[in-house]
Every structure is written in C-alpha cells, then in structure tokens.
Amino acid sequence: MNSPFDTKKVLVAAVVLAVVVFGFFYVQNTRVYEFAGSVSKIESGVIFASGRFLKNGEPIPGKEDDLVILQIKTDNDTKITRLALHIPTGAGSFDTKDLKQEESAVNLDTIQNDFAQSPSMGIESSLRKGFFDKNYTARSLYFRVPIFNN
C-alpha cells in the first residue's frame, strides 16, 4: 500500500532526474570547441578540415600531436571572416606580418570560390556540437586565404 510520503519521494526523484538529464544535454549542446587547421574540401555547405583542437588559442597540453579530421557545418548564425593575404609573385620566403592583408566579413560561397582558386587555406573556428550530432556547427569561422599577385 502506497502512502502519500512514498509518492512524494518518487515524484521528487523523477523531478531531480529530469533536471539532471536536461542539464547534461544543455551543457553538451552549448559546449564550445576551438579548432585550427587547414581546409581540405568544401562540399554542399560542409567544410572538411584537418587540424587540432585548442584551449584558449593554444594546443591542448599532451594532445599537440593529435590530428583530427572534422566536418564543419554552418548555419544562419555562423560568422564568417576572410583574411586575404596578398603574396607577391616570386616570393621565396616572407613573414605574413609583412604582407598586404584585407579582412572582411563574407559568406561561404566566397570562401568556396577562393578555395577553388587556391586550395591552400587555413581555418580557425569556434564550434559547437550537439550530443547526438556527428558534425560540428560553426559559431565563427576565420579563413586565411592566400592571394597570389601577378
């Protein structure tokens, strides 16, 4: 025979469990990852990149050699920035700080066109990943695009 006290315990336990489960999924869906690497392909709005995860802009201690390959999706909230690095013709070696640089907000179509012309592109990103997602979704993407001057 159930008493009101037993029913309260079950109800409280169910509410606590629901809050814990909700909290777990909320944290997983709002977790932010930093990533830096190079773009290997852009296809159907998905960026394929290889590189490393970072923490506060630096390689994660003990995981500096852990190369990962990611598929990065974009959505309407993704901020995309393009840094065009103008490389002079015949330059053997150079410091990127000495190059003419142009930074601008762009869309993924612009980056895809750049990649078709020069498939040597660096990427830095802030990513989020849902618990059940296999791909990451970009909060922000920062592309370093070499522009070879004639």
> In the prediction, which pLDDT does 121 show?
94
Pairing type for strands 100-105 and 122-128 reads: unpaired
Q: Is 79 in the same domain as 143?
A: yes
How many distinct structural domains can be found in the chain? 2
Confidence of residue 118 (pLDDT cuts 50, 70, 90): confident
Q: Is the pLDDT of residue 44 over 80?
A: yes
Give Cβ neighbours of residue 85 (< 8 Å, ≥ 6 apart). 96, 99, 100, 101, 144, 145, 146, 147
CA distances from 118 to 13, 39, 91, 99, 114 (A): 58, 11, 16, 17, 6
Q: Is 10 in the same domain as 51?
A: no
Q: Is the pLDDT of residue 36 over 90?
A: yes
Q: Is 84 in the same domain as 110?
A: yes
**pLDDT average, residue stretch 104-111:** 95
Give Cβ neighbours of residue 67 (< 8 Å, ≥ 6 apart). 50, 51, 52
User: Is pLDDT larger for residue 119 or for residue 150?
Assistant: 119
**pLDDT average, residue stretch 33-47:** 93
Q: Is 116 in the same domain as 69?
A: yes
Q: Is 22 in the same domain as 45?
A: no
Q: Is the pLDDT of residue 90 over 60?
A: yes
Confidence of residue 4 (pLDDT cuts 50, 70, 90): low
Domain that holds residue 15: 1-30
